[in-house]
Chain A
Amino acid sequence: MKSPDKDILHGIYKKDIKTFELLYNQYFNRLCHYAYSYIDERKQAEDIVHDVFVALWNKKLEADTIECISSYLFRAAHHKCVSYLRHKIVQRKYEARHSLKIKEAELMYHDYKNYTFSSLQLQEMQDIIDTTINDLPGKTADIFKLSRKEELKNTEIATKLNVSVKTVEYHMTKALQALQQALKEFI
């Protein structure tokens, strides 16, 4: 399904700073979104992702330790998120929301093999998302972009566009369905 990005892996073993710059460009945002889906504080989520890269930089690696860089990074981020969540549960007692997050993280973890893409596939996916959203009716596209690009909450979008939250939810679901259709070969 995926061909490992040989050069990138080689660069990681050699601790080549240029390779890490490339990795940051390709994965930092993506991993932040991933971590942010579990951890409410953005700064904390970014911290965790930095930790993942720093640990990779400091790790003594053998030539075949990492098979697929995207799956490695997601797994590493995943572990850090889960231990952070567990720590939170210990700190603040039991919270239903946190334990659902952990459940979610576990599901995601068992599924990680289906969430590894080569650089080429990632690029392709991004292009498809771009085109799909741009092909949507104007209002649906606007609302979806406000949510995912500006990362506004549904209520914030509703206020901004002077529509009801229900309307926002309707358009979000529409956009999602279109993306599900467009990305069905990937996801």
Chain B
Amino acid sequence: MQKLILKYLAGEVKKKDIEQLTTWLDESRSNQAEFLRIKKIWIESSNAFSKDEGKNVMAFDEFRERIEESRRDDKINISQNDQKPWIKMLKYAAAILLLVGASGLFFFLGERSSLGQEIDYCLVDVPNGGKSVVTLPDGTKIWLNAGSKLKYNKNFGAKTREVYLEGEAYFDVYKQEIPFLIHTTHINFQVLGTRFNINSYPDNDRIEATLVSGSLKVIGENREGYERREVLLKPDEKFTFYKNENALAVAKVRAKELEEQRNELVTKLQPIALARTAFLNKDINTQEEISWVEGDMVFTGVSLEELTRKLERKYDVEFVYKNEELKSYSYSGTIKDFTIEQVLKALSLTSPIKYTVDQKTVTLKLNKKYKIDYKKD
């Protein structure tokens, strides 16, 4: 067996060896421990012999370059009004076309390749804490949520209508003969004219689309070795693609009714209704998917982890968990235009959570005093 493990570590195994090794590992804990011992020796011994200082120095130089780069990227996000230095640096010829929303960024970028060919595209980059509305040349309106990016070709609308989305957006697509295509990291969407919401933040483990009216075609990515799959979504349906499992699901929602309610909700300020729910609400609420367009947040049976990720974007803060178990707590409720302090207060009043704020970092801790009470219900 040692021989087989060594072969495996050296990357010299055949298919039947892999099967044999997998079975052996599943057999017992002591087998697993044996495997790990050999693996550690494998890594450590290689390291013992490759104390090549030169390589480390080179690697460290690369690290320096990388942190320089990430520092520059940060600057780009902060300095909306001072673009000159980085435009030169990135060889972009850019002009601000429009500035929409409180802190939404809107850029018109033209990138010139070294061959002199123009690959012009527009990039809308909304920083955390911001929001943006974009009207495309064809009359399509797109609301972008915090931390989202939208990219489209400069000659958008001439022959094709194609956009690239990273993050969350609510689309109101103007009806035309030319199909409207939305690319996300894993899934593409094709429509003619309709209203829908897409949620495709890269740090989420899923991509979601909720359709309000019209029809929406979902196209599984067409990469090498990847089966092309198409699903036609009808109004009142929500589509979910699970990235890790490579699986998809379609669920019924009550879209129309809720869209009407949405307008009402905007004028009527609701009290914060944060309540822990013991079950995961399967009845998906379209209100939840589109509500952020109006500045409020509605959520049903979402985990605290997911909720704080949304709050991070909305308020541009960072959450730190002292107790991992908190992440799985489930919440339902509505957050209107409140300050982050009000939201945190509500969290701590309705669940066993203590919080501390240090500048932009919020630390969440388990409030042991209250924990027992919550277990009862």
A76 to chain B, nearest CB (A): 14
CB-based contact B56/A28 at 8 Å: yes
CA distance A28 to B60 in the complex (A): 9
A155 at the B interface (CB under 8 A) = yes
**Complex interface: chain B residues within 8 A of A104 (CB):** 25, 35, 39
B2 touches A149 (CB 8 A): no
Most buried by A among B2, B13, B49: B49
B246, A126: Cβ atoms closer than 8 Å: no
B283 close to A (CB within 8 Å): no
- Do A91 and B226 touch across chains, with their CB atoms under 8 A apart? yes
- Chain A residues closer than 8 Å to B72, beta-carbon distance: none
Check B15–A133 contact: CB distance below 8 A: no
Could you tell me which residues of chain A, from 7 to 43, have a CB within 8 Å of some CB in chain B? 17, 20-21, 24-25, 28-30, 33-34, 37, 40
CB distance from B357 to the nearest CB of A (A): 12
B225 touches A93 (CB 8 A): yes
Task: State the Cβ distance, B338 to closest chain A Cβ, in Å.
Answer: 24
Interface mask (A99-122 → B, CB under 8 Å = 1, otherwise 0): 010011001100100110000000
Cross-chain contact A148 with B21 (CB below 8 angstroms): no
User: Which of A20, A25, A30, A90 has the most B CB atoms < 10 Å from its CB?
Assistant: A90
| B46 engages A33 (CB within 8 Å) | yes
Residues of B within 8 A of A126 (CB): 44, 47-48, 51
Q: Which of A40, A92, A108, A187 contacts B41 (CB 8 A)?
A: A187
B 165-202 to A, binary, CB cutoff 8 A, 1 in contact else 0: 00000000000000000000010000000000000000
Check: A135 CB closer than 8 A to any chain B CB. Answer: no
Output the residue of B3, B46, B70, B226 with the most chain A CB within 10 A. Answer: B46
Are the C-beta atoms of B63 and A54 separated by less than 8 Å?
A: yes
A53 at the interface (CB under 8 A from B): yes
Contacts of B112 in A (CB 8 A): none
Across the interface, B62 reaches (CB within 8 A) one of A34, A50, A125, A183, namely A50
> Does more than half of chain B's interface fall in helix, strand or loop, or is it mixed?
helix
Across the interface, which residues of B come within 8 angstroms of A86, CB to CB? 244
Given contacts A24-B59, A115-B40, contact A50 B45 (CB under 8 A): no
| Residues of chain A contacted by B63 (CB below 8 angstroms) | 20, 24, 50, 53-54, 57
- Asked if A144 contacts B37 (CB within 8 A), the reply is no
Per-residue CB proximity of B1-42 to A under 8 Å, as 1/0?
011001101111101001101100100000011011111111
Q: Is B350 an interface residue (CB 8 A)?
A: no
Q: Does A97 contact B (CB under 8 A)?
A: yes
Interface positions of B from 355 to 377, Cβ below 8 Å from A: 358, 360-361, 363
Interface contact B244-A107, CB-CB below 8 Å: no
Q: Say whether A149 contacts B49, CB under 8 Å.
A: yes
Q: Which residues of B contact A111 (CB under 8 A)?
A: 33, 36
Interface string of B42-71 (1 = CB under 8 A from A): 111111111111011001101110110010
Interface size, B (range):
35 or more
* Given known A-B contacts A29-B47, A115-B40, A153 and B12 have beta carbons under 8 A apart: yes
* B residues less than 8 Å from A148 (CB atoms): 42, 45-46, 48-49
**Cα(A158)–Cα(B35), bound, Å:** 25
Considering only residues 137-163 of chain A, those with a C-beta below 8 Å from chain B are 144-145, 147-149, 151, 153-155
Q: How far is the CA of A91 from the CA of B227 in the complex (A)?
A: 10
Residues from chain A with a CB closer than 8 A to the CB of B25 are 103-104, 107
Nearest Cβ in chain A — how far from B376, in angstroms?
32
Asked whether A172 and B70 contact (CB < 8 A) given A20-B63, A60-B361, A65-B320, the answer is no
B→A interface (CB under 8 Å): 2-3, 6-7, 9-13, 15, 18-19, 21-22, 25, 32-33, 35-53, 55-56, 59-60, 62-64, 66-67, 70, 186, 223-226, 243-244, 246, 318, 320, 358, 360-361, 363
Pairs A–B under 8 Å by Cβ, sample size 27: A24-B63, A29-B56, A33-B42, A33-B46, A34-B43, A50-B66, A54-B63, A54-B66, A54-B70, A57-B70, A62-B358, A86-B244, A91-B224, A96-B15, A114-B36, A126-B51, A147-B10, A148-B45, A149-B50, A153-B12, A154-B12, A169-B3, A172-B6, A173-B3, A177-B2, A179-B41, A180-B37
**Which residues of A does B touch, CB under 8 Å?**
17, 20-21, 24-25, 28-30, 33-34, 37, 40, 46, 50, 53-54, 57-58, 60, 62, 65, 86, 89-93, 96-97, 100, 103-104, 107-108, 111, 114-115, 125-126, 129-130, 133, 144-145, 147-149, 151, 153-155, 169, 172-173, 176-177, 179-180, 183, 187
Q: What 3 pairs across the A-B complex have the smallest Cβ distances?
A: A149-B49, A129-B48, A24-B60
